[in-house]
């Protein structure tokens, strides 16, 4: 049943809650695609990758050749040719130096490569997140979104930095060794390779199981993050209701599940090492048995077998390494999938015609809207707002007032009908310009952990101090700011800075005033502000918004009595409209609202 | 701290090490079998140069079996290590979370939400990795190292000199890198916190960002914190990347030295060439051990930084401590006795010498200007903060003498900002009293004027509230929060400006339900609207942290100028015309 209640936009995406806990059973196809997509991030780094491969190649060559000189040196000792020894030793030192330097280079390149790629990935992800439609953010766990940006992106970076060069050198060694083996003896070479096929078979078998657990682990980690985020943000309520035990119990449940999944995932990936080790030894025995047999038959010389033995040892090292990498790659892929699923969500479309000089005429024409299919929130809503007028929306809670604003701002898209600004459909307008022309103070105030000045000048970062102060004065937050330890330079959210809800609202109003928009929307913006301060703000606003359109949602009718037009909403439709006096005289819904508000006061 | 948590799983740690010893032993033993196959089987050294297929088959089979045993040991060691380290991490995670849930308001403010999230997730993973690396890696590299060194020195004492020179160099390198990276790691975690905060604010404040079209600005802000983070991460990686090649060079030079010294010895006739070969093999084993050590150090350094950050959370003492003397009687009286309050690290008092008392079943309303200290006042009752001077008494006892659970069980508090959880509406209400019957839930919701709209939802009370309740309007959220408070069997009800988003009609209905159905509860109501407070038994007008006046609506209209002003500001035109 829970599914029914997910907003439409969320249905394809990631959902949370019980019933969705089972890890999605995905095809290996997906994982291949994810890997390919991840690899695409290396494309712009082609040069660096090439440079790194060169470094890896040199260091692999050096580490292949050095041992042969080592054995030569020992041969010289055996044959007592001590004079030749220094020369060989010098070559060895040179080779080791080359190896050291190229390894260093490798480390440097892979570090910068991984950091560049992860930085790019994160930036891309963040750019996406700020452009996601509100409906997506409303419908998803914030903690989980954060987890994708941090844990999952980090996993990807980790694998790139720690294993990219080993992956490279491993593959190179593998190819080089195979080539050498085939060169010496095709049948023996093929036999050695048969274990590689066995390895591939085994790896793909394991990967199926591993993937499931790694995906599930990342999901649980996201959920855990979600819980922490939600509980830490809402912990005042938890404290007030003594619910610590219950909350901790829930958290422990998820944590235990995470641990269980994590243990299984890690154990499976840990198995890879020993199993690979075994396979490489099996390969050794196969080579020995068949080599000895071939030698007995006279197909190959004994010398070839000893060479093969060295190679099959060399073979096992990269395979071992690759096996160890496998687990990490699985985690990275599981993370990448979660990251890509956000990247694949459709962004808000910012393109459109320029709004030009906005006059502030707003038209709603037969607008219908529902957050959840089948449950209309806005019903055939038609409203014409003249430029420069002060319009008030009133109505009982849940009547759809905030939703109207959400639609005008295009936080949500309407189902049918149209909304016009200056006679043009807002869907055709550039989203950025549309929103730029509207200043809004929301029901739920959000300030950023930055200085007071930066918060006020949020929309106009180059505002001169005088203007900032004027806006602060008009919104009555100058008195609040004066009390702060460092006035305008106080960082909000810092230790010792405690702002009440009302004070935060005043700052938010200041922020909107400073942006000086063509259209100003106050959505219950002064609900926590005392009425005297509110009245003063109203007066300041009247002066500020002269000739500009303003839309005000308020429950206190005193706030909106002098509006040019009062719209009374009920169940998503307009039931009445007119001035305060007209509506009172009509004796309808507004009159009723008014009477309850002032009942008792007049006696 | 690490060992404290590890104690519980010592058996698994020991088992993991034991299995690891066996696995490494097989690793060390296996070359001998290989040599046997090569020397006696393939090269047929004991057979006059003809390969002996029998030896190859027989020894090969044995080798596979031994390797199999080694593999099983390896897997078992992995199982034990994971059981140990992950459970260890889980315990820390749970403890850290539970500690956070008992933090005071100011403690959470100090840490910031973003940092607390990183600590309970990322930092725990780091510490966990450290433990698993230590169990497996230390044993493994230790064995390679010890076995290799002993074998090497036993071959010829001179070789000991080579190791004696090489080891301090390597140790010096490790110490150097660890010293340089440790501060970088704490910087790294700090910057991670910072980035988390930016992300968190952007997700939570998406509407503001969009409304002001500040996507670019936020992207820039993020770009900066991302850049800082990447910068530090890069520096760490570079330092770490020195470790391996330098170690390599030192040890390879040691190999050269051993061959050189070995050559001289052989020339002297002191040792056989085969001994030099063996020495080189052992040295490569030592090298292997050292390489692993370098990896382990990387994890350990990072893990220690995280362990420190976790310790900060785990060792944070809650400044608000339990008392032990709760009064028997649950009457529901609240008294402020000459209370002054100042937020930590602020210079001015928020509340000054407040004396007020509320009798059982009485309703006290508090009204006053924004920032005058109304919320601060009621926050002192359930001890969200403690008074700086004076005392707050509940049921005649100083709140500081109560066990916290007991104190808070007597109080139903509706916060200014209604905090809903992303579960069902029913669960949200049940938070007030998990034993509440269906009937009790409905009764509370009806009184809170929430029942009607809840029943209109698709799944009624089982409708899910999405993140921060965004699918519900502000007024609906407030009413769910109030239902939650009403279902709680408490004597004292505190409404901290929590009806601000309700329309007047709804609020009037709520007020009248509170007066009749919840008459027994002592109520403290903070509000902005006169209509919300006028029916209260007494109204306290707060001005700049002090009580300006206290009395009934009528009394205050007569005597208190501030109250009259508030009253007038709300009547405005309407009253003049209709009054």
Q: Does A4 touch chain B (CB under 8 A)?
A: yes
Nearest CB to A229 within list B108, B117, B277: B117
Across the range B419-430, mean pLDDT stands at 80
Name the pTM for this structure.
0.74
Reported as type and span, the H/E element at residue A261 is: helix A244-297
Give per-residue pLDDT as tens, A540-580.
777 777 778 888 887 777 777 778 888 888 888 888 888 88
- Please give the share of chain B, as a percent, with pLDDT higher than 70: 94
3-class secondary-structure state, position A459: coil
Touching B: A residues 200-259, CB under 8 Å: 221, 224-226, 228-244, 246-248, 251-252, 255-256, 258-259
Counting beta carbons within 10 angstroms of the beta carbon of residue B269, is it exposed (0 to 12), middle (13 to 18) or buried (19 or more)? Answer: exposed
Distance from CA of B23 to the nearest CA of A (A): 9
**Residue A303 pLDDT:** 65
First to last CA, chain A: 51
Distance from CA of A566 to the nearest CA of B (A): 14
pLDDT band of A7, cuts 50, 70, 90: very low
Give per-residue pLDDT as tens, A101-114.
888 888 888 888 88
Give per-residue pLDDT as tens, B537-564.
888 888 888 888 888 888 888 888 888 8
**Residue A9 pLDDT:** 34
Nearest CB to B508 within list A111, A529, A596: A596
Distance from CA of A200 to the nearest CA of B (A): 18
Tell me the backbone φ, ψ of residue A20, rounded to 5 degrees.
Answer: -120, 10
Give per-residue pLDDT as tens, B310-354.
888 888 877 777 777 777 777 888 888 888 888 876 777 888 888
What's the full length of chain B, in residues?
Answer: 579
Q: Is the pLDDT of residue A173 over 80?
A: no
**Residue B571 pLDDT:** 67
3-class secondary-structure state, position B550: strand
- Please give the share of chain A, as a percent, with pLDDT higher than 70: 88
Cβ A111–B199 below 8 Å, yes or no?
Answer: no
Q: Which of B13-17, B167-171, B532-536 is the most confident on average?
A: B13-17
Distance from CA of B225 to the nearest CA of A (A): 10
Contact B94, A257 (CB under 8 A): no
Give per-residue pLDDT as tens, B64-75.
888 888 888 888
Strands of the sheet containing B538-543, edge to edge, are B411-414, B492-496, B522-526, B363-368, B538-543, B546-551
**Residue A496 pLDDT:** 56
3-class secondary-structure state, position A378: strand
**Residue A444 pLDDT:** 73
Taking the CB of residue A12, how many other CB atoms lie within 10 A of it? 11
Contact A218, A152 (CB under 8 A): yes
Nearest CA in chain A to B238: A108
The residue ranking higher by pLDDT, B403 or B36, is B403
Q: Is the pLDDT of residue B572 over 60?
A: no
Cβ A293–B218 below 8 Å, yes or no?
Answer: no
Nearest CB to B384 within list A110, A239, A247: A239
Cβ A77–B252 below 8 Å, yes or no?
Answer: no
Counting beta carbons within 10 angstroms of the beta carbon of residue B384, is it exposed (0 to 12), middle (13 to 18) or buried (19 or more)? Answer: buried
Taking the CB of residue A390, how many other CB atoms lie within 10 A of it? 22
**Residue B24 pLDDT:** 80
Residues in B closer than 8 angstroms to A435, CB to CB, are 210-213
Q: Is the pLDDT of residue B20 over 60?
A: yes
Classify the C-alpha dihedral A233-A237-A242-A243 as positive or negative: negative
Distance from CA of A405 to the nearest CA of B (A): 11
Closest CA to A493 of B4, B166, B198: B198
Residues in A closer than 8 angstroms to B369, CB to CB, are 530, 532-533
Domains detected in chain B: 149-316 (1.20.1560.10), 334-578 (3.40.50.300)
Choose the mutation target among A555, A557, A590, A599 for the interface with B, i.e. most B CBs under 10 Å: A555
Q: Does A51 touch chain B (CB under 8 A)?
A: no
Helices (H) and strands (E) in chain B, counts: 21, 10
Cβ B101–A231 below 8 Å, yes or no?
Answer: yes
Contact B214, A457 (CB under 8 A): no
Planar angle of CA A383, A389, A392, nearest 5 degrees: 60
Query: What is the C-alpha to C-alpha distance for residues B417 and B469, in angstroms, rounded to an integer?
Result: 12
Q: Is the pLDDT of residue A18 over 50?
A: no
Across the range A394-402, mean pLDDT stands at 78
Nearest CB to A228 within list B116, B230, B409: B116
Residue for token digits 């101090």?
A465
Across the range A63-78, mean pLDDT stands at 72
Taking the CB of residue B321, how many other CB atoms lie within 10 A of it? 11
Quote the tokens at residue A540.
């300041």
What ranges in B358-503 are assigned the alpha helix state H? 374-379, 404-409, 425-430, 438-447, 451-456, 474-487
What ranges in A344-430 are assigned the alpha helix state H? 401-408
**Residue B44 pLDDT:** 66
Across the range A457-475, mean pLDDT stands at 80
pLDDT band of B509, cuts 50, 70, 90: confident
Contact A70, A106 (CB under 8 A): no
Tell me whether strands A573-578 and A565-570 are parallel, antiparallel or unpaired. Answer: antiparallel
Give per-residue pLDDT as tens, A507-544.
888 888 888 788 888 887 777 777 777 777 777 777 77
Nearest CB to A296 within list B53, B196, B458: B53
Nearest CA in chain B to A145: B203
Nearest CA in chain B to A505: B370
Query: What is the C-alpha to C-alpha distance for residues B513 and B532, in angstroms, rounded to an integer?
Result: 13
Q: Is the ipTM of this complex over 0.90?
A: no
Nearest CA in chain B to A512: B212
Q: Which of A11-25, B455-469, B554-568 is the most confident on average?
A: B554-568
Distance from CA of A32 to the nearest CA of B (A): 27
Nearest CB to A271 within list B75, B201, B567: B75
Distances from the Cα of A504 to the Cα of A444, A534, A535, B110, B415, angstroms: 10, 14, 17, 19, 15
Distance from CA of B33 to the nearest CA of A (A): 11
pLDDT band of A44, cuts 50, 70, 90: confident
**Residue A603 pLDDT:** 35
Contact A12, A139 (CB under 8 A): no
Contact B432, B485 (CB under 8 A): yes
Q: Is the pLDDT of residue A344 over 70?
A: yes
Domains detected in chain A: 117-343 (1.20.1560.10), 446-516 (3.40.50.300)
- Please give the share of chain A, as a percent, with pLDDT higher than 90: 0
pLDDT band of A146, cuts 50, 70, 90: confident
Residues A208-237, buried b or exposed e (16+ Cβ, 10 A)? Answer: eebbbbbbbbbbbbbbbbbbbbbbbbbbbb
Give per-residue pLDDT as tens, B206-227.
777 777 777 777 888 888 888 8
Cβ B370–A533 below 8 Å, yes or no?
Answer: yes
Distance from CA of A34 to the nearest CA of B (A): 24
Residues in A closer than 8 angstroms to B384, CB to CB, are 236, 239-240
Long-range contacts of A175-184, Cβ-Cβ distance < 8 Å, separation of 24 or more: A176/A60, A176/A64, A177/A311, A177/A314, A177/A315, A177/A318, A178/A315, A180/A311, A181/A308, A181/A311, A184/A300, A184/A304, A184/A307, A184/A308
What's the full length of chain A, in residues?
Answer: 603
Q: Is the pLDDT of residue B469 over 60?
A: no
Nearest CB to B466 within list A138, A236, A495: A138
Residues in B closer than 8 angstroms to A555, CB to CB, are 475, 500-504
Q: Which residues contact B9 (CB under 8 A, 6 or more apart)?
A: B83, B84, B87, B88
- Contacts A–B by Cβ distance under 8 A: 546
Query: What is the C-alpha to C-alpha distance for residues A404 and B480, in angstroms, rounded to an integer?
Result: 23
Distance from CA of B26 to the nearest CA of A (A): 11
SS3 for B39-74 is: HHHHCCHHHCCCCCHHHHHHHHHHHHHHHHHHHHHH
Quote the tokens at residue B188.
């790294």
Classify the C-alpha dihedral A433-A439-A443-A448 as positive or negative: positive
Nearest CA in chain A to B249: A100
Cβ B471–A442 below 8 Å, yes or no?
Answer: no
**DSSP letter (8 states) at residue B464:** B
Cβ B53–A293 below 8 Å, yes or no?
Answer: yes
Residues in A closer than 8 angstroms to B38, CB to CB, are 288, 306, 309
Residues in B closer than 8 angstroms to A482, CB to CB, are none
Choose the mutation target among A90, A375, A398 for the interface with B, i.e. most B CBs under 10 Å: A398
């Amino acid at each position: 049943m829970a599914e029914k209640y997910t907003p439409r936009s969320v249905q394809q995406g990631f959902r949370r809650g019980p019933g969705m806990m089972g890890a999605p059973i995905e095809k290996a196809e997906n994982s291949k695609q994810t890997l390919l997509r991840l690899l695409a991030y290396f494309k712009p780094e082609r040069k660096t990758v090439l440079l790194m491969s060169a470094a890896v190649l040199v260091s692999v060559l050096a580490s292949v050749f050095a041992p042969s000189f080592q054995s030569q040196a020992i041969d010289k000792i055996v044959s007592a040719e001590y004079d030749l020894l220094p020369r060989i030793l010098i070559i060895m030192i040179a080779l080791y130096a080359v190896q050291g330097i190229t390894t260093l280079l490798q480390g440097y390149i892979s570090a910068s490569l991984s950091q560049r790629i992860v930085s790019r990935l994160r930036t891309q992800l963040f750019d996406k997140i700020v452009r996601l439609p509100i409906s997506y953010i409303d419908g998803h766990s914030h903690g989980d979104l954060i987890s994708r940006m941090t844990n999952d992106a980090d996993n990807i970076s980790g694998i790139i930095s720690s294993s990219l060069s080993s992956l490279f050198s491993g593959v190179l060694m593998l190819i080089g060794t195979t080539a050498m083996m085939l060169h010496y003896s095709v049948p023996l070479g093929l036999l050695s390779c048969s274990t590689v096929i066995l390895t591939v078979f085994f790896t793909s078998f394991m990967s199926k199981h591993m993937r499931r657990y790694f995906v599930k682990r990342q999901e649980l980690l996201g959920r855990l993050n979600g819980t922490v985020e939600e509980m830490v943000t809402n912990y005042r309520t938890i404290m007030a209701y003594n619910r610590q035990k219950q909350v901790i119990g829930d958290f422990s449940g998820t944590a235990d599940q995470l641990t269980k999944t994590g243990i299984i995932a890690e154990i499976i990936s840990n198995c890879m090492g020993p199993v690979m080790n075994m396979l490489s030894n099996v390969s050794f025995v196969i080579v020995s048995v068949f080599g000895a047999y071939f030698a007995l038959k006279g197909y190959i010389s004994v010398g070839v077998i000893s060479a093969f033995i060295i190679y099959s040892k060399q073979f096992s090292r990269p395979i071992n390494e690759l096996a160890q990498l496998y687990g990490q790659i699985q985690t990275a892929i599981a993370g990448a999938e979660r990251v890509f699923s956000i990247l694949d969500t459709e962004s808000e479309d910012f393109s459109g015609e320029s709004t030009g000089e906005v006059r502030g005429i707003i038209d709603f024409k037969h607008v219908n809207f529902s957050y959840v299919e089948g449950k209309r929130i806005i019903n055939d809503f038609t409203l014409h707002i003249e430029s420069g007028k002060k319009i008030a929306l009133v109505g009982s809670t849940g009547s759809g007032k905030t939703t109207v604003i959400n639609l005008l701002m295009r936080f949500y898209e309407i189902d049918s009908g149209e909304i016009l600004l200056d006679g043009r459909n807002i869907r055709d307008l550039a989203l950025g310009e549309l929103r730029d022309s509207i200043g809004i103070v929301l029901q739920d105030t959000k300030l950023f952990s930055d200085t007071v000045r930066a918060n006020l000048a949020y929309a106009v970062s180059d505002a001169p101090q005088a203007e900032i102060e004027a806006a602060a004065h008009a919104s009555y937050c100058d008195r609040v700011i004066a009390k702060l330890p460092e006035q305008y330079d106080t960082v909000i959210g810092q230790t010792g800075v405690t702002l009440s809800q009302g004070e935060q609202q005043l700052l938010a109003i200041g922020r909107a005033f400073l942006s000086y928009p063509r259209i100003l929307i106050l959505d219950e913006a002064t609900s926590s502000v005392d009425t005297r301060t509110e009245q003063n703000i109203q007066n300041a606003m009247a002066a500020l918004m002269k000739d500009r359109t303003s839309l005000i949602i308020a429950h206190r009718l005193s706030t909106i009595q002098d509006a040019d037009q009062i719209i009374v909403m009920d169940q998503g439709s307009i039931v009445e409209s007119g001035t305060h006096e007209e509506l009172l005289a009509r004796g309808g819904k507004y009159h009723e609202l008014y009477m309850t508000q002032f009942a008792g006061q007049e006696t | 701290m690490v060992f404290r948590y590890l104690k519980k799983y010592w058996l698994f740690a020991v088992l993991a090490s034991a299995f690891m010893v066996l696995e490494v032993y097989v690793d060390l033993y296996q070359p001998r079998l290989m040599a046997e196959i090569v020397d006696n089987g393939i090269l047929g050294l004991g057979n006059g140069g003809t390969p002996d297929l029998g030896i190859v088959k027989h020894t090969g089979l044995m080798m596979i079996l031994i390797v199999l045993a080694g593999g099983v040991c390896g897997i078992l060691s992995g199982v034990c290590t994971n059981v140990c380290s992950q459970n260890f991490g889980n315990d820390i995670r749970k403890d850290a979370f539970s500690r956070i849930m008992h933090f005071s308001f100011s403690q959470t403010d100090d840490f910031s939400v973003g940092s607390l999230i990183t600590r309970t997730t990322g930092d725990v993973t780091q510490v966990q990795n450290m433990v698993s690396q230590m169990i497996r890696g230390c044993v493994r590299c230790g064995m390679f190292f010890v076995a290799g060194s002993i074998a090497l020195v036993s071959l010829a004492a001179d070789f000991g000199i080579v190791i004696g020179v090489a080891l301090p160099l390597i140790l010096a390198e490790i110490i150097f890198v660890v010293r340089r990276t440790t501060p970088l790691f704490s910087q790294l975690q700090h910057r991670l916190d910072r980035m988390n905060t930016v992300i968190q604010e952007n997700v939570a404040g998406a509407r503001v960002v969009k409304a002001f079209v500040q996507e670019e600005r936020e992207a820039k802000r993020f770009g900066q914190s991302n850049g800082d983070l990447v910068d530090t991460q890069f520096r760490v990686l570079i330092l770490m990347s020195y470790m391996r090649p330098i170690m390599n060079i030192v040890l390879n030079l040691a190999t050269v030295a051993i061959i050189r010294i070995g050559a001289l010895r052989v020339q002297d006739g002191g040792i056989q060439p085969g001994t030099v070969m063996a020495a080189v093999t052992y040295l490569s084993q030592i090298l292997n051990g050292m390489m692993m050590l370098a990896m382990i150090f990387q994890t350990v350094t990072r893990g220690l930084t995280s362990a420190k950050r976790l310790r900060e959370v785990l060792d944070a003492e809650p400044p608000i401590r339990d008392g032990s003397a709760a009064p028997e009687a649950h009457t529901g009286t609240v008294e402020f006795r000459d209370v002054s309050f100042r937020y930590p690290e602020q210079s001015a008092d928020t509340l000054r010498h407040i004396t007020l008392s509320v009798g059982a079943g009485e309703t006290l309303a508090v009204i006053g200007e924004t920032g005058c200290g109304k919320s601060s006042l009621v926050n002192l009752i359930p001890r969200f903060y403690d008074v700086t001077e004076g005392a707050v008494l509940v049921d005649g006892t100083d709140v500081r003498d109560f066990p916290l659970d007991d104190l808070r069980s007597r109080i139903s508090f509706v916060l200014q900002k209604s905090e809903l959880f992303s579960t069902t509406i029913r669960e949200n209400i049940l938070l007030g009293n998990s034993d509440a019957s269906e009937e009790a839930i409905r009764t509370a919701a009806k009184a809170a004027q929430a029942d009607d709209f809840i029943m209109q939802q698709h799944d009624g009370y089982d409708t899910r509230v999405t993140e921060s309740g965004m699918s519900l309007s502000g007024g609906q959220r407030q009413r769910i929060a109030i239902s939650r408070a009403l279902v709680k069997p408490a004597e004292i009800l505190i409404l901290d400006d929590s009806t601000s988003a309700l329309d007047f009609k709804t609020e009037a209905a709520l007020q009248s339900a509170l007066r009749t159905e919840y008459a027994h509860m002592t109520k403290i109501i903070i509000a902005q609207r006169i209509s919300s407070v006028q029916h209260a038994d007494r109204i306290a007008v707060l001005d700049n942290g002090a009580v300006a006046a206290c009395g009934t609506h009528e009394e205050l209209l007569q005597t208190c100028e501030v109250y009259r002003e508030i009253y007038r500001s709300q009547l405005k035109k309407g009253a003049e015309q209709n009054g």
